[in-house]
Amino acid sequence: MRLVLLYLAILISITATRPIPATEVELTASERIVLTRQALSGDLEALDRLETDDAASRWGLLVRGYALQAAGRFDEAFAAWERSAELGLRLAASALAAHHYERRNWMEAYAWARLVMEVEAALTDGDLDDLRGGWALYTAVHAAEGLDEDQHRAADALAAERVEQHLAAMISPDDVGSQSEDPPLDLDVVQRTRPNYPRSLAENGVPGWSYVQFEILANGRVGETVAIGASHDRFARAAVRAIRKWRFNVDAMDELPGTGFQQIDFTLRR
């Protein structure tokens, strides 16, 4: 089917964590991102260096899940993500839906994607039209195609259970967008480059998302960058390439940010 309109939606306003205190034991923003990148490639020694007091936080559990997934320890990865979801991290539900979908666990993929849909609908005052062309609806629909009638009924029941367990925490005002635990700082973006939609995914009508962590330098440029999670590797690469070109007005900030976070959603409209 020919695409009439294709666009990128940046749904979560850009945020940043406060600078990490300079002590002998604390990691700098750059060091932390480098270790995160190594951990996300399956380097569990880097994960151990990265984890400190936040190892059991919802953000630490999310990163741990991706590191374990890259190391091939899938059951442990899913357990970490499930705990992160219990703590109210929206991104954990997306991670679970994406990776169950990739492994063709259709019932679990459907249930977690339905939870993501319910969260998105609640955050947009129940406007389901906003979900059309988006990743969560796409994932739920295509996962449902892998289920027979009895399995679909069971998947609906599982989705309802997920919503009952996690929805309230995930739409809480305490979660300002699924970034880390630190309070956000407002950032003045003076140059925002839009990512290129990966051509093959666009041609096949595949939406997606990527969540990027990046260092903001004193000159307003972007330093170290890593995609914490994505529904597809090509979306991760596209988002990282774009954010590396962003520029910030650091003179307008009360203090130099440490690490910024941004979710980019690749959405298709027909």
Q: Domain of 224: which CATH number?
A: 3.30.2420.10
User: What is the arithmetic mean of pLDDT over 237-242?
Assistant: 96
- Which residues pair with residue 214 across a beta bridge? 225, 260
Task: Categorize the per-residue pLDDT at 23 as very low, low, confident or very high, splitting at 50, 70 and 90.
Answer: very low
Over the Cα atoms of the chain, what is R_g? 18
The helix or strand, by DSSP H or E, that contains position 229, with its residue range, turns out to be: strand 222-230
Give a yes or no: residue 24 inside a domain: no
Give a yes or no: residue 84 inside a domain: no
User: What is the arithmetic mean of pLDDT over 42-50?
Assistant: 92
Nearest C-alpha neighbor of 13 from the set 144, 185, 159? 185
Mean pLDDT of the chain: 84
* pLDDT score of 5: 37
DSSP helix/strand/coil, 99: helix
The helix or strand, by DSSP H or E, that contains position 66, with its residue range, turns out to be: helix 58-70
Q: How far apart are the first and last CA of the chain?
A: 9
When divided into structural domains, the chain yields a total of: 1
**CA–CA distance, 136 with 243 (Å, rounded to integer):** 23
pLDDT at position 66 over 90: yes
Give a yes or no: residue 193 inside a domain: yes
In 54-193, the DSSP E strands lie at 189-191
Are 77 and 66 contacting, i.e. CB atoms less than 8 angstroms apart?
yes
Is 107 buried (19+), middle (13-18) or exposed (0-12) by CB count in 10 A? Answer: buried
* pLDDT score of 52: 64
User: What is the arithmetic mean of pLDDT over 190-194?
Assistant: 87
Mean pLDDT check: name the lowest of 7-21, 33-47, 55-69, 159-173: 7-21
* pLDDT score of 190: 84
Are 238 and 10 contacting, i.e. CB atoms less than 8 angstroms apart?
no
Predicted TM-score (pTM) of this structure: 0.84
pLDDT at position 152 over 70: yes
Mean pLDDT check: name the lowest of 10-14, 37-41, 264-268: 10-14
Task: Categorize the per-residue pLDDT at 39 as very low, low, confident or very high, splitting at 50, 70 and 90.
Answer: very high
| Residue labelled with tokens 């096949």 | 204
Give a yes or no: residue 190 inside a domain: yes
* pLDDT score of 28: 87
Host domain of residue 236:
5-14+182-269
Are 162 and 111 contacting, i.e. CB atoms less than 8 angstroms apart?
yes
* pLDDT score of 192: 87
What is the DSSP-derived secondary structure letter of residue 266?
Answer: E
* pLDDT score of 185: 52
* pLDDT score of 179: 46
Give a yes or no: residue 243 inside a domain: yes
Give a yes or no: residue 102 inside a domain: no
Chain centre distance of CA 164:
22
Give a yes or no: residue 71 inside a domain: no
* pLDDT score of 1: 42
- Residue 47 phi/psi, 5-degree rounding, is -60, -45
User: What is the arithmetic mean of pLDDT over 208-212?
Assistant: 95
pLDDT at position 115 over 50: yes
pLDDT at position 3 over 60: no
Give a yes or no: residue 136 inside a domain: no
**105 residue type, one letter:** N
| Residue labelled with tokens 């979710």 | 263
pLDDT at position 20 over 80: no
